[in-house]
Amino acid sequence: MVLNQAESLLLISLAAAILPSLSRLLRLPAPVMEILFGVILGKSFLHVQFSGEWIQFLAHLGFLLLMFHAGMEIDFGMLLKQSRSQLSFQLLLFGATLGLSFLFTLYLKSGMFMALVLTTTSLGLVMPTIKELGIQKSHFGQSILIAASLADFLTLFGITFFILWRDYGLGWHFITPLPLIIGFGILLWAGRLWAWWNPERAERFLGSQDLQELGVRLSLALLFLFVAVSELVHFEPVLGAFLGGCVLSFVFREKGQLESKLSALGFGFLIPIFFINVGVEFDLTNVLRPGQLHFTLKILVLAIVVKLFPSLIFTLQRISLKAAMKAGILLSARLSLIMAAAEIGLREGLISPAVKDSIVLLALLTCLLGPTVFKLIGREKEVSRPSDKA
């Protein structure tokens, strides 16, 4: 069944309005509900097709906003409080995850890109879970948040540079992203300096008295600036959107009201369209083929193992073995970044549509299992120690 553009917009708009209430009723994350709705509509069941370009355009815009929000979730204040030894520990944890993922992809014969896919996590799932349990200020909670932040940040850079290497090799093209990276650094420095010298203006810019919504306007301008520069230097636009969110997070540490306004725009309408579109494009028959189903089960197990085993390193920080394993289970939850990786991999010809569908199913299962199992396992007294201020 083919829907015209007006019918497509009406259906998707109604779904974006209704699905959050249904997800709360069923106690499922809203993105999972939106993807499942798309699965029912799309290639797997009803075979509904959306004509026109509006849905694809809005879905892509929602995708960029999702990555912009992912950048905003990085807490630079927390990262800058860490000592050199603590950051070295977190880099060791990331390196162990990446190394183990690479070994497993040799077994799967899937290549380096799949290793980066398995290394991803979802700060957008980890952070609310930690906050819900009230352990975000504890040493344990801070360690998990830093691990998730670095995994998001470094994996996205790794995917981008891997594609540059695949396309151009180790040549001068590796310096083409320098304008984006230098611009990112300059904006971080200049923005933070302006906020430091103009605290009242910064507060007014972020507050509810901003009747012209200059904060939202500048945030969206920042998003499209980084996306445009990324396109010009042959970088992934997804990384540009992510870096734009990072700039906003670094410059404005107390950005609660502005973040709420941007969330209303993104998660209120555009990002659900992206998740619904992911479901529409998902083809269950790809995954259910005997060989592909076996592959999907293997990457599901490996996606948990590559987080669970390296998380045992947390015991070096005087965190109990049980708590360390809990951390690994929560870090195995994936959603936004792995969706980005799947979209990039399919577009660049690094993975097949069947593998992309397996990754989408992996995201759905891990984003349900990770936070749920983490909450079900009882709290540990050892994890309530305040985080180090060094």
pLDDT, tens only, 36-64: 999 999 998 989 888 888 899 999 999 99
Chunk the chain into consecutive blocks of 10 residues (it has 390) and report each block's average pLDDT, rounded to whole numbers. 87 91 88 92 90 89 90 80 86 95 89 92 88 83 90 88 79 67 74 71 60 77 87 81 85 74 86 93 90 91 95 90 92 90 90 93 92 78 43
pLDDT in tens, 187-232: 777 777 776 777 666 666 655 555 567 778 888 888 998 898 888 8
The alpha-helical segments, DSSP class H, found in the chain are: 5-26, 30-41, 54-72, 76-80, 84-108, 112-119, 123-132, 139-168, 178-197, 199-206, 214-232, 237-251, 256-265, 271-281, 284-288, 290-308, 321-331, 336-347, 353-376
> In this structure, what DSSP letter does residue 177 have?
T
- For residues 341 and 162, is the Cβ–Cβ distance under 8 A? no
State the pLDDT at residue 257. Answer: 76
Coil/strand/helix, residue 49: strand
What are the Cα distances from residue 135, in Å, to 151, 249, 389? Answer: 20, 21, 16
Which residues have C-beta within 8 Å of that of residue 131, sequence separation ≥ 6?
A: none
- For residues 334 and 148, is the Cβ–Cβ distance under 8 A? no
Which architecture characterizes domain 2-384 according to CATH? Up-down Bundle (1.20)
Of 336, 334, 352, residue with least CA distance to 295? 352
First to last CA, the chain: 60
